[in-house]
Amino acid sequence: MSSNTLRRKPTQGSAPVLQFIQTVGKVTGGTLLGLTMLGSSVIAGGLVGLAISFRNLPDVRVLRNYVPSETTHIYDVNGKLLASLHGEANREVVPLDKIDPDLKRAVLAIEDSYFYQHQGVNPGAIVRAFVANWKSGGTVEGGSTVTMQLVKNLFLTPKRAISRKIAESVLALRLEQIFKKDQILEMYLNQVYWGHNTYGAETAAESYFGKSAANLTLAEAAMMAGLIQAPESLSPFVDYKAAKRRQLDVLNRMKELKWITPQEEETAKKQKIKLGQITSFRSSQMPYVTEAAIQELTRRFGKDAILKGGMRVQTTVDFKLQRIAEEVVQQGHASLQYRGLYADQMALVAVDPRTHFVKAMVGGVDYRKSQYNRAIQSLRQPGSAFKPFVYYTAFASGKYSPESIINDSPVSYPDGYEYYSPQNYDGSFYGPIPIRRALELSRNVPAVKIGQDVGLNKVIETCRSIGIKSPIDPVVSLPLGAVDLTPLEMAGAYATFASNGWYSETTFIVQVTDNSGNVLLDNTPKPQPVLDPWAVASLNSVLQGVVERGTATAAQIGRPAAGKTGTTSSERDIWFVGYVPQLAAAVWVGNDDYRPLGHGATGGGFVAPIWRDFMLRALQDEPVETFKPASDFNRP
């Protein structure tokens, strides 16, 4: 942008001292010309002297590498904005050519119409301000140039004092020696405060008018420029009439400078302004997802980088699936209440087995009432939903197959100073039973026996290999879920079964870039084979039987699906975790205070139907896929 762009005649005489002399002459009516010239020389010489003596002022050269704090934006996997995060300053930095020319003209017209003629300080404006303030007996006019305002905002305190004004002048002179005019204007328009914690032209335009700063009309540009003087009191959100009056002042000034025509002024005056919404500190559309992403970002970059770094964060979550998950949780919770189950909370996590990207996650029934995210923070016992880890380990050992016979009969094991005698849910024993049937019916005693035979440390190794990081102790009752895990861990682990043993770290983030598109984090999946394919295929076959004819028939969705119910002996936690090749999902139901849910509360009876409702809707447009059979692989 140049002075020609502003459509005004250049001021005669480019030296600031000459401008100062001419202006003083006008103010005093030309009297005492010699005294005026002497005074202006003293001022000019004084500025030079101050420039030498003010060596303790900040070095403006640091602005060559200056990066202003900027708002971080979080999106879903398809680019839909979910949340914007910032500290004090809500700002998006844009280059000067991305700001509408009308806004640049309007700002300069009302703030510094001689911007392209002065060298950082406008003596004429200072004299006019001095006279105006002297006449009024107070501060009514500042006389600051755009350059002076910029250095004040970046380096100095807002305290009104002569010393600060002198420091402003010195820094402004220095700044104009280093940077071009357009560079200074770009910094200013990205730095200036526009009210409501909104900084910079782009964010202000989005807030006030719901559009980019590149697409403003003259009327909108004039209203925005007018706000700089007193952004809070002149805000159209606060006092639209005051904002409109100030807009007319800006338009009139632009006309006086011949930067717009009278016809353009009249058109702008008549244009109806459609206001947007304040964008600062808006709540997330999906708060549980946003907070999970923030936790992951904080571990990698730190909190300060998130609030000030201007990151563009693409999450793994699909907006459509997330909304389905939220609706299913709401409806499912209401259904549980209707059926007499005393369950206050629920969590749901869905993971894509092909990438281990989290596609949907709900951390509670109502975020407004409780911000605690049970999907990733709540450690709960999985009950029998833990058994697949035991049976996979058994199949991978080469000692067992789905058709192997295990004796479902009374047994006791030393457990500290006592003996532990596992019991089945119904208190009965079936005697010799195929492993397939034992898992379909969720028999407890066979699971404990197999855990002892293959070794509980081997079971723990299996858990670690598929992403479970919570503490696990090799207690005798571990195969029955005597361990605390999160729904996210369960969904991610089952997703590895669904992918036939291929694992990537479960994540909420696809990619992070800065505002210029430079990649800061790339979570492109790098799947690694971590499980034996025959053992996984065998487990998938058995877990399909759980859905087809076992404890989870309520989870049938009209396509091949595998999964496992979970019910703790105290009936404090009930689960269903299941999957198809394209999607794995874990659903947990319980109470935050660990109150029992009530007699007869089981994962198969109460949670499997909720899982089914989610999967039916989530897979509506997905083709039917089958699991690979164990016969495709060699047995270990």
B/e letters for 472-497, b = 16+ CB within 10 Å, e = fewer, are beeebbbbbbbbebbbbbbbbbbbbb
Question: Residue 277: inside a domain, yes or no?
Answer: no
Kindly indicate the confidence band of residue 63, based on its pLDDT and cuts at 50, 70 and 90: confident
Q: Which of 209, 237, 270 is the last residue of a domain?
A: 270
Whose tokens are 């980019």? That residue is 212
Here the CATH number for the domain that contains residue 220 is 1.10.3810.10
Lowest mean pLDDT among 39-43, 287-291, 429-433, 469-473: 39-43
Confidence of residue 287 (pLDDT cuts 50, 70, 90): very high
Backbone angles phi, psi at 518, to 5 degrees: -75, 130
Residue 120 has pLDDT above 50, yes or no: yes
266 and 150 assigned to the same domain:
yes
Q: What is the pLDDT of residue 129?
A: 63
Q: How many CB atoms lie within 10 A of CB 541?
A: 17
Strands lying side by side in the sheet with 312-315: 81-85, 72-75, 312-315, 509-513, 519-522
**Cα dist. 111→89, 104, 118, 142 in Å?**
22, 10, 13, 10
**pTM more than 0.85:** no
- What would the mean pLDDT of 598-612 be, rounded to a whole number? 94
448 with 515, same domain: the answer is yes
Residue 539 maps to a domain: yes
DSSP states of 458-508 as a string? HHHHHHHHTT--S-----TTGGGT-S-B-HHHHHHHHHHHHTTSEE---BS
Same domain, 339 and 244: no
239 and 372, same domain (yes or no): no
Name the strand (E) or helix (H) holding 579.
Answer: strand 573-580
Report pLDDT for 34. 43
360 & 259 share domain: no
Q: Examine the residue annotation and report whether 111 is marked as an active-site residue of this protein.
A: yes
Task: Judge if 346 and 264 occupy the same domain.
Answer: no
Whether 309 is covered by a domain: the verdict is no
443 found inside a domain: yes
SS3 351: strand
Residues 335 and 465 in one domain: yes
Find the range with the poorest average confidence among 123-137, 308-322, 463-477: 123-137
In a domain, 305, yes or no: no
Residue 44 falls inside a structural domain: yes
Q: How confident is the model at residue 2 (pLDDT cuts 50, 70, 90)?
A: low
| pLDDT at 140 (0 to 100) | 41
Distance, in Å, from the CA atom of 395 to the CA atom of 178, rounded to the nearest integer, reads: 72
Active site residue 235: no
| For residues 105-129, average pLDDT | 87
Mean pLDDT of the chain: 89
The CATH number linked to 559 is: 3.40.710.10
High-pLDDT (> 90) share of the chain, %: 77
User: Does residue 286 form part of some domain?
Assistant: no
pLDDT at 347: 98
Of 30-44, 386-400, 476-490, which range is least confident? 30-44
Residues 230 and 338 in one domain: no
Instruction: Give a yes or no: residue 265 inside a domain.
Output: yes
**Residue 595 confidence (pLDDT) above 70:** yes
pLDDT for 43 beyond 60: no
Give pLDDT, residue 55. Answer: 62
Which of 207, 280, 284, 384 is flagged as catalytic?
384
Query: Which pLDDT value is given to residue 61?
Result: 86
Same domain, 492 and 600: yes
105 has a pLDDT exceeding 70: yes
Among the candidates 270, 285, 312, a domain finishes at 270
Catalytic residue among 92, 111, 296, 489: 111
Distance spanning both ends of the chain, measured CA to CA: 72
439-476 pLDDT per residue, tens: 999 999 999 999 999 999 999 999 999 999 999 999 99
Residues 256 and 357 in one domain: no
Per-residue pLDDT tens digits for 610-621: 999 999 999 999
Q: Assess whether 352 and 477 both reside in one domain.
A: yes
Number of domains in the chain: 2
Q: List the domain range (segments joined by +) for residue 603.
A: 322-632
Q: Are residues 340 and 264 in the same domain?
A: no
- Confidence at residue 169, expressed as pLDDT on a 0 to 100 scale: 86
- Whether 418 shows a pLDDT value over 90: the answer reads no
Q: What share of the chain is helix, strand, coil (3-state, %, to 5)?
A: 45, 15, 40
The whole-angstrom separation of Cα 180 and Cα 83 is 36
- Give just the sign of the alpha carbon dihedral 398, 404, 405, 410: positive
- What is the Cα–Cα distance from 260 to 8, expressed in whole angstroms? 10
- Of the candidate ranges 133-137, 356-360, 484-488, the one whose mean pLDDT is the lowest: 133-137
